[in-house]
Amino acid sequence: MSNALEIKWTLNNIAKSSDRQVANMSVSEMEKAANFHKSFPQYAVTPLTPLPNLAAYLGLRRLCVKDESYRFGLNAFKVLGGSYAIARYIAQQLGKDIREVPYQVLVSDKLREEFGQAAFFTATDGNHGRGIAWAANKLGQKCVVRMPKGTTRTRFENIAKENASVTIEDLNYDDCVRMAAKEAGETDHGIMVQDTAWEGYEEIPTWIMQGYGTLAMEADKQLEACNSRPTHIFVQAGVGSLAGAVIGYFSNRFKENPPVMTVVEADAADCLYRSALQADGRRVDVTGDMTTIMAGLACGEANTVSWDILRNHANAFVSCPDWVSANGTRIYGCPLRGDKQVISGESGSVSMGLIHAVMTKPEYKDLKEALKLDENSEVLLISSEGDTDPDRYREIVWEGSFSTRT
């Protein structure tokens, strides 16, 4: 019998599809999104932080982390997708190309006269909804946000202060998605902006994923400036949108020799891992409360667009208990002497906890060998959020919470 606190993994033996979605994450599509984001006065490239001493300690050639805690002052990457999807929707409604509606046009009185005002609906654990609310607020649009039970007050208040109509429901994340979608459909000029996709709802999630591609393109260029390219990428997943965007981008960027790319999930919501374990191409949903400290990953139904990319291009799927994430948060927050500190929240740090466990713990030697991790490996991680829940962050770093492995 397996230990509930152990890391579970499987290599990708999934039945392949026609692979039609990966083209949507092409370099040219990501460039459109990146150029749109550059039009924002708040835009700045987020740091790619090298951790050379930790790399040496773990037995790797290079270890770098893309630190999204600096993104637009919102402490997480999610705004990249929401802002781009809203802009694409407005452009589509006006019959314009996205290149015709940069930030200054979107906030102009002329555009509001042409477009009017929409109500953008979404469901969120915190970061996605905050990004949608922020973008809608900047653009003079309405926003309605539904949050699942267990949501912290801090996450709620961060959204409310962006003038959004926001509630915490007695529902899990996936049921909040259904609630928001129903409300959007019943509202005049109501639009669902969600980073999960299902049959019949894939265009807006695709735009969101393309928006996430900005961080992948930035990281690629930052590594290139250091005469480096990743041999390995670890990227966390809830519904899989970020993972699909990153893996889709690098699959297109290095078609002949892509990095070894691993999807990392919370074990309480490991729908992608379970789908990979089943291996017949069908998605396996996770239901129930999905209790985990990794709130941003507590999603039990995979995005259909990203699943098509991941089943064809991910190398491995890993399911991690909470101690992995907590350990990653502490490693980032208390670096080896000479390395820079990274403030990484629970959903952002699980890939760091995983690479540490794989490289240092004998019980994960098989996974290390399967991923071909060694002294020649150049590893890219993405810290997708900062301390978006400051109280929980202090519990983990100061008090050592969630450190149990036995």
Q: Of these residues, 8, 32, 67, 125, which one is catalytic?
A: 125
Q: What is the pLDDT of residues 187-200, one digit of tens each?
A: 999 999 998 999 99
Q: What is the pLDDT of residues 321-350, one digit of tens each?
A: 999 999 999 999 999 999 999 999 999 999
d(CA 74, CA 81): 13
d(CA 199, CA 248): 20
d(CA 41, CA 102): 11
Q: What is the pLDDT of residue 1?
A: 34
Say if CB 303 and CB 205 are below 8 A apart: yes
Q: 3.40.50.2300, 3.90.800.10, 2.40.50.140, 3.40.50.1100: which CATH number matches 79-194?
A: 3.40.50.1100
What's the mean pLDDT in 177-186? 97
Alpha-carbon radius of gyration of the chain: 20
d(CA 114, CA 163): 23
Would 8-77+204-397 and 79-194 be classified into the same CATH topology?
yes
The residue extents of the domains of the chain are 8-77+204-397, 79-194
Q: What is the pLDDT of residue 125?
A: 87
Q: What is the pLDDT of residue 299?
A: 94
Structure tokens at 267: 């074990």
Q: What is the pLDDT of residues 24-48, one digit of tens each?
A: 999 999 999 999 999 999 999 999 9
Q: Of these residues, 8, 78, 142, 368, which one is catalytic?
A: 78
d(CA 294, CA 344): 12
Query: pLDDT at residue 295 above 80?
Result: yes
What's the mean pLDDT in 309-332? 98
Q: What are the DSSP calls for 60-91, one per residue?
A: -SEEEEEEGGGGGGTTBSTHHHHHHHHHHHHH
* Whether 125 is catalytic: yes
What's the mean pLDDT in 255-281? 98
> Over pLDDT 70: what percentage of the chain?
99
Query: pLDDT at residue 253 above 60?
Result: yes
Q: 1.10.10.60, 1.10.150.120, 3.90.550.10, 3.40.50.1100: which CATH number matches 8-77+204-397?
A: 3.40.50.1100
Say if CB 284 and CB 271 are below 8 A apart: yes
* Alpha helix (H) residue ranges in 94-140: 103-106, 109-115, 127-138
Query: pLDDT at residue 2 above 60?
Result: no
Kindly indicate the confidence band of residue 404, based on its pLDDT and cuts at 50, 70 and 90. confident
Say if CB 325 and CB 266 are below 8 A apart: yes
The pTM score is 0.96
- Residues in CB range of 182: below 8 A, 6 or more apart: none
Query: pLDDT at residue 394 above 50?
Result: yes
Mean pLDDT of the residues in the chain: 96
* Whether 8 is catalytic: no
Q: What is the pLDDT of residue 32?
A: 98
Identify which of 342, 366, 321 has the alpha carbon closest to the alpha carbon of residue 64: 342
Query: pLDDT at residue 3 above 80?
Result: no
Query: pLDDT at residue 231 above 70?
Result: yes
Q: How far is CA 95 from CA 40, 51, 92, 101, in A?
A: 22, 46, 5, 11
Structure tokens at 137: 């607020």
Query: pLDDT at residue 406 above 60?
Result: no
Q: What is the pLDDT of residues 133-173, one digit of tens each?
A: 999 999 999 999 999 999 999 999 999 999 999 999 999 99
Say if CB 180 and CB 157 are below 8 A apart: no
- Give the 3-state secondary structure of residue 221: helix
What's the mean pLDDT in 210-231? 97
